[in-house]
Amino acid sequence: MSSPRKIENNQEILKRIENSRSDSQNKDEAITIRLEKYMIIRIKDKKYALHADDVREIIGGIPIFFVPFTPSYIRGFINRHGEPYTVIDLTVLFERENLDSTTYLILKKDDDQLAILISDVLEIVKLPETELHKISSSINEDDYFIGSISPQEQEEIFVLNLQNVLKKLEADLSGV
């Protein structure tokens, strides 16, 4: 450890005190930066992200059973431990095409049994919350994305706004 340097000039001492205070504040700020955990998924040929906390489980290899009287982006039910889970196909919502897959993200929801059909899970990344580039300051009801993240340079991945997807489902079902 190096020995402390002597400062004799009062002005310099005051400046140093000021600087040391502001350095310590910056350190405190750095400590309180929240890290968000995102799950990067692939749906068809596109990458999307969602908050990892929204996902309970990833399951695969089980069939979807068609259920009538629902919007086309509801592909049906899957059997998770004997209970039916509603499967949402975002490809139908975004591109009007069915996704051919049997991999599902079971969403962590206490008041519903929902799953999202995906192609696969790519990785889980931790990023400071400031790394989320919001699309706009206020999110419209029809925005299916909160914003985007760039875990790797030159790659922008849209973060899904699941709440608005579910709001759309609720609105569409009210007209069924």
Partner 1 sequence: MEYERAVYEQDFLLLSYSRMGFFINRSQFSGSTSLENVKKIKSPLPYFDSIFTYNGEKVLLFDCDAFLTAGYRCENEGSSRLCLLMKTSDFGPSNRPAISSLLGNNPALSQEFLGLIITSRAEITKIRIDEIFLTPPGIREPLKKRGLYGCRFSGDREIQFYIDLEITVLNIMKRKAG
Binding-site ranges for partner 1 (CB under 8 A): 62-63, 65-70, 74, 77, 79, 82-86, 111-114, 166, 169-170, 173-174, 176
How would DSSP label each residue in 66-103?
--SSS-TTEEEEEEETTEEEEEE-HHHHHHS------E
Residue 38 or 85: the one with the smaller Cβ distance to partner 1 is: 85
DSSP string, 138-149: S--TT--EEEEE
CB of 69 to partner 1, least distance (A): 4
Would you say 84 or 128 has its CB closer to partner 1? 84
Distance CA 150, CA 129 (A): 12
Contact residues for 99 (Cβ-Cβ < 8 A; gap 6+):
43, 44, 89, 90, 91, 92, 117, 118, 119
Q: Smallest distance, Å, CB 130 to partner 1?
A: 33
Which residue lies nearer to partner 1 by CB, 113 or 119? 113
Query: Shortest gap between Cβ of 87 and partner 1 (angstroms)?
Result: 10
Nearer to partner 1, 53 or 112 (CB): 112
